[in-house]
Structure 1
Amino acid sequence: MISTVDEDKNDRGRARYTLTGTEHGHAWGVCAEAKGLFGEPRRGTYELFGWVDEGAEVRGWAGSRVWLVPEDEALGPWLLEDAESVGQLLATDSLVLTGPDDYEGPPDGHRGPVRVHDGHRWLGSCREFARVLPPEQVAPPLVLRGLAPGDRLRAALTKGTRRALDLEEAALEIQDDRGEPLTERLLWAQVSTWRPSPYGTNLIDLELHGELFTPVPEYARPIWERWFAGPPDTPGAWAGLDTRRRGAWLDLVRERACRRTHHDRPADHTYELDGRHITDEPGLYLALGEAVNGPGGYFGGCLAALDDCLRGTFGYTAPATMLWRDAATAREHLSRTRTPAGRPYNLFAGLLDVLAEGGMHVTLA
């Protein structure tokens, strides 16, 4: 007999992962291991013809948010996240740029000149571009190993039809070693196969189609493994990371915060912001989150989210005061940023404006 979630409370207590149906909130099952959670997400590939650098050569990681801006101002820019490049192709004037597309992608029918920036500086321009279709690849499955299935999953596996094995939209809920919610990954859960698990009697290994799941990038694995142990005990645990991995750290901070209840401090509280490591945008929001809510704390991941935190229930009550130490570091690195369309923008000044509008009086030191 296959034990179920309700029949084995100890498995629920030890489990890191819970596969939950999003429509009704029922648990399909719980397990301690998810093989295939980490991998390489599908990436859009663009060949930029007639590429001209504007500064340093574009090679390797190009930025967490790289914008392609059409020369025609009537057309909007589009985004490549976590963009990478192998540099210019040999014996050509082309640059290959890859990254997960945003939901819009390039304007319909547009193949003309574009200019590219990373939110801070112009990287270069091209006379035209083409989106390259990637070769057909079979995505590795997501395997939930040592899964204790719930009643609904057990019934679906017993029935075994294609319709029964389509579990529809689900969330893979993930908790840390302390049993506290950390994050979740949405997927369309279709069972490809299952088998008895070597991890224990009455447990199964459930294999889900990989085409319907976006894995966590491999570069973020050490960040996730650090957070599996629980939140940091001291501030600045992220300070030694590069911008790419700071972004992964901020993603987990944000997602964890959305699953927690925050206790607002009373009005007129004084906060202290350690600005020594604010050399990029993720560092700005990580330091700000820790200033308000302690190590691993969250208080916005962009200006719009910061505005929400100032007016919501994220540990803050207006009015308040903040002493920003070593503010010159952020001023140096964040005063010359760019909007998606490439227009100059002062993020440092914009942040101060949002804080002031939210009742936070900031003293720069």
Structure 2
Amino acid sequence: MVGDGSNCADARHKEGSWPASLGSVASALAGNAYLAVLAPSGAETGSYFVNGLTPESVQPSTMGPGLVDLTVGLWCDDLLPQSEGPWELIRTGRLDRRGLWQPLDPAGRLAWLSVALRHHACRNLPDSPAGSTFTLDGRYIVDEDSFYCALGEAVNGPGGYFGWNLDALDDCLRGRWGAASPFALDWQHSETAATYLSKSSTEAANSPTTFDRILEVLQESRIDVLLR
């Protein structure tokens, strides 16, 4: 279970791993840990590094004999507000079609990208063959984050990740993130996207726009960008 900011999270442990009495649990401090986000099957779908992990309550678990449900307080800088939405789609198997990020506000799109990054490592997706063509739908690109939401699902399907800033995009283009250079990017409705990405990437006069910088990074990695 995940939440926003300073959170409480449920964790399940074998009985005996934690003090059995609430009085003992409340005074215990576990410190730092990696918190795995699990599917109902128990498969890991992502993880976070958390700190200030403090047990708050413990009770027998409905998940099976010998297990306890442990409620803890924790702090996680990387768990962004609105992250629970995409994690719930992943947990329930409803992240099964493109465009589910489109109704989100700016904070929601950023959270979507953060979850997509953490989920990617657990998907074990191979790179598509060199020379593949990916179709990028530019109709819903209204800022830089929405560009990366659209690009991620163009390359890796619903909920896919393929960068969330220029440096990360450059890293993804080196391989092992779903696509191996060279490949073609069929950018449909690119004029619509360019309108929103036309803001200068710096405050300097005559500096390249975000749209220009994206094209530069793609083309430097031998990506054939087809603007339609």
- For Structure 1 versus Structure 2, the TM-score category normalised by the shorter chain is 0.7 to 0.9
Q: Give the equivalent residue in structure 1 for 2:187.
A: 324
CA shift, 1:247, in A, is: 1.5
Q: Counterparts in 2 of 1:64-103, with a 5 A limit?
A: none
Instruction: For residue 198 of structure 1, report the CA deviation from its aligned partner.
Output: 6.4
What does 1:49-68 align with in structure 2 at a 5 Å threshold? none
Structure 1 position 144 matched with structure 2 position 10: yes
User: Alignment partner of 1:312: what SS?
Assistant: coil
2 CA distance for matches of 1:234 and 1:161?
Answer: 46
User: What is the CA-CA distance between 1:186 and the residue it aligns to?
Assistant: 2.2
From the two aligned structures, give the one with the greater strand fraction: 1
Cα 1:270–1:345 shift into 2, 3 Å: same
Alignment partner for residue 237 of structure 1, among 97, 100, 113?
100
Q: 1:144 to 1:180 in 2, by over 3 A?
A: closer
Query: 1:176 aligns to what?
Result: 39
8 Å Cα contact 1:189/1:208 also seen in 2: no
Q: Is the 8 A contact 1:310 1:316 kept in 2?
A: yes
**Unaligned ranges ≥5, structure 1:** 1-33, 43-139
Checking the alignment, whether the CA contact within 8 Å between 2:143 and 2:196 is kept in structure 1 is yes
Between the aligned partners of 2:131 and 2:81, the Cα distance in structure 1 is: 43
Question: Secondary structure of 1:247's match?
Answer: helix
Aligned runs of 1:1-365 on 2, under 5 Å?
A: 34=1, 37-39=2-4, 41=5, 142=8, 144=10, 147-149=12-14, 153-154=17-18, 157=19, 165-177=28-40, 179-188=42-51, 190-197=53-60, 199=62, 202-210=66-74, 212-213=75-76, 216=79, 219-230=82-93, 232-339=95-202, 342-343=203-204, 345-365=208-228
Asked if the contact 2:15/2:66 (under 8 Å) is kept, the reply is: no
Q: Look up the equivalent residue of 1:261 and give its one-letter code.
A: N
1:289–1:173 distance in 2 versus 1, CA, 3 Å = same
Give the AA of the match of 1:265: S
Tell me how far 1:229 sits from its aligned partner. Answer: 1.4
Greater Cα radius of gyration, structure 1 or 2:
1
TM-score normalised by the chain length of structure 2 = 0.81
Give the number of aligned pairs: 223
More helix by share: 2
Separation (CA, whole Å) in 1 of partners of 2:172 and 2:49? 25
> Which string of whole-angstrom CA distances, capped at 9 and with x for unpartnered residues, describes residues 143-165 of structure 1?
536x33266x24xx27x989x94
**Cα displacement (A) at 1:356:** 0.7
- CA gap of 1:258–1:345, structure 2 versus 1, over 3 A, is farther
| Contact 2:56–2:73, Cα closer than 8 Å, also in 1 | no
**Per-residue deviation, residues 45-76 of structure 1 (Å, max 9, x unmatched):** xxxxxxxxxxxxxxxxxxxxxxxxxxxxxxxx
CA contact 2:15–2:67 (8 Å) conserved in 1: no
Partner amino acid for 1:38? G
**Contact preservation (8 Å) 2:13, 2:70:** no
Indicate the percent of aligned positions where both proteins have the same amino acid.
32
Gaps of 5+ in 2: none
Query: Using a 3 Å threshold, how does the CA distance of structure 1 residues 178 and 334 change in structure 2: closer, same or farther?
Result: farther
What's the offset of the Cα at 1:168?
2.9
Paired with 1:356 and 1:364, the residues of 2 have a C-alpha distance of 13
Whether contact under 8 Å (1:322, 1:360) holds in the other structure is yes
3-state SS of 1:148 partner:
strand
SS of the residue corresponding to residue 226 of structure 1 reads helix
